[in-house]
Chain A
Amino acid sequence: MRSISPPLGIEAWRRGAGVLASAGQALRLGALSALAGWPVLIGRAIFYLVALAVLSALWSKVAGERLPGTLARALPAGGLALYVGASEWIMLSIPSIHLRLEDDIRSGALETHLLRPKLYLLLRIAEAVGDMLVRMGTLALAALALLLLSGRGAPAAGLAFLALSGVLGGAVGVLLYAIVGLAGFWIRRTLPAFLLLQKLMFLLGGLFAPVSLYPSAFRRIAEASPFAAQLYWPSDQLIAPSAAMLAQTLALQAGWIAVLALIVAAIWRAGVARLLKQGI
């Protein structure tokens, strides 16, 4: 069966194609799983709309008052409702991959997956991305419905740029959550680490307000963090679409995805080595 080995190039190509096909299938599975749980999708959409209602009420009030000597002058003309709609759209779409990883590690199900010839971690991340895409689709529909109902407009270019950079931003978030989940190899409860990470995402990613409104020291830290690539830069495209900024954003996101992927791979290798020695 495997007695004749084909030339190296073809073998590598075939292997790569196999990995890609598996990842694609895993992505499809993640999407199907998300669709199967449609009551949860609807619940999330409702939460999204309610949160948007409250936050846009806040920002409308602030923008409407235009108090002198405050940052109100720095607010975009239409207020921040669009921005918050975008940032919450990304944030709420990121699936809880950390729970999945923690569960697999703790329950021992990881061993079953290690017995397969394809990298478990890659497949899990692909699944999470599939899940994320379905969530993003659902929430986008909800947001568009809200836009139509409220009669508020949104720049078409902004929507397109947001769609593109938002998906990459979500991918950054997935990798960050994955790091927390993989900590399950060493610590029993990842929840505190997760909560901390999530709050950093809210704060440094500019979930409730663009990072550009922060005091300068804070802003610099936030802009340098992966969280800005996850939430702020994509969301900013909706209120101030610019092809140049989009290119920069995409490059930054690609850079962070590469860095985080390396970190995730390193943690995974260390974790699996530990598993092989100690069996968890």
Chain B
Amino acid sequence: MGGILATYPAQAAAAIRASFADRTNFLLQMGGMVVNNGFFLILWGLFFAGFKSVGGWRAADMALLLGLIMTIVGVSGVAFGGYRDMAAAILSGEVDGLLTQPKPVLGRLLSRDSLPSAWGDLIVGLIILIGLGGLGWRQAPLALVGLSCGLVIYLAAATAFACLAFWARGARSFARDLTDFMILFSSYPGSIFSGVSKLAVYTLLPAGFIVLAPVKLLRAPSLGALTLVVGAALVYALITLAVFHLGLARYRRGLTPTNG
């Protein structure tokens, strides 16, 4: 375990350097995402100007939520960017080459790519988080905990979706769709969910744990809230690791429908 902690940063740094190679492309992608996120800010700004609050959520709460999810998507894309197309990588047989290397496969899969657009998410996310989220400096440690746990859950869920590729070819677009839905559900005030959607948000598409629980934690800190956030992170991480190893074992038995 210590091995991967030591070598992962180097792998990720290499991917980040590679993403800088085409300057124009990098700036275009990053800029595009900044514009994209800026637009959503405008929309929510208009919304709260007109409607003041929804289900107890005010503009500052929404800003906190958006800041969290954008920062999480940003860090994921920059440092763990391989998660985005992992299903495609599995289906194309890339794992073969990785299995022959001495480093853990999951780490290699995550570190093989860094997305330029994620920098746009990261920049706007941090600005919103720090500037508009209504957080004080004393909440920084708690915010960091919330962010880290949210990051773990987001990556765990996206990776678990991608692992479906170990079982079926159609997983490629399905995994991306699920990840997109997860982000969609993480971009709205939690108070709107009820019934089926609320269930989904706290299980399959864990927006509830990625952003909703951390927001609650930061607005009304309590031991219970902290336990929920950290506990959820551990549970999702463990589930994903189990699913990944099961999938990899299946892959090694030659049962995965690869192209290669």
Contact = CB atoms under 8 A, between A and B. Distances in A.
Does A pair with B? yes
Interface of A: 39-40, 43, 46-47, 50-51, 53-54, 57-58, 60-62, 65, 67, 69-72, 189, 191-192, 195-196, 199, 202-203, 208-209, 213-215, 218
Contacts of A213: 50
A209 to B, nearest CB: 7
A57 B54 contact: no
Given A51-B184, A202-B39, A58 B54 contact: yes
Contact of A67 (B53, B170, B180): B53
Nearest to B46: A214
Given A47-B177, A192-B28, A192-B31, A54 B39 contact: no
A57 B197 contact: yes
A131 B36 CA distance: 27
Contacts, number: 77
Contacts of B193: 57
Given A47-B181, A58-B188, A191-B32, 8 more contacts: A39-B173, A54-B185, A57-B192, A61-B54, A62-B51, A62-B54, A67-B53, A192-B35
Contact of B51 (A47, A72, A191, A199): A72
Given A189-B25, A192-B28, A209-B47, A70 B188 contact: no
B189 interface: yes
B194 interface: yes
Nearest to A60: B192
B39 A192 contact: no
B42 interface: yes
Given A54-B185, A58-B188, A71-B51, A189 B28 contact: yes
Nearest to B33: A195
Contacts of B43: 202-203, 208
B49 interface: yes
Contacts of A53: 197
A50 B184 contact: yes
Contacts of B180: 47
Interface in B171-216: 173, 177, 180-181, 184-185, 188-189, 191-194, 197
Contact of A61 (B31, B49, B181, B192): B192
Contact of B32 (A62, A69, A192, A215): A192
Contact of A70 (B31, B36, B51, B181): B51
Contacts of A71: 50-51
Contact of A218 (B28, B35, B46, B173): B46
B55 interface: yes
A54 to B, nearest CB: 6
Interface in B54-87: 54-55
A60 B46 CA distance: 18
A54 B192 contact: yes
Which 9 residue pairs across A and B have the least CB separation, nearest first? A71-B50, A199-B39, A57-B192, A192-B32, A70-B51, A61-B192, A58-B192, A195-B32, A70-B52
A72 B32 CA distance: 33
A211 B47 CA distance: 12
Nearest to A218: B46
B188 A54 contact: yes
B36 A195 contact: yes
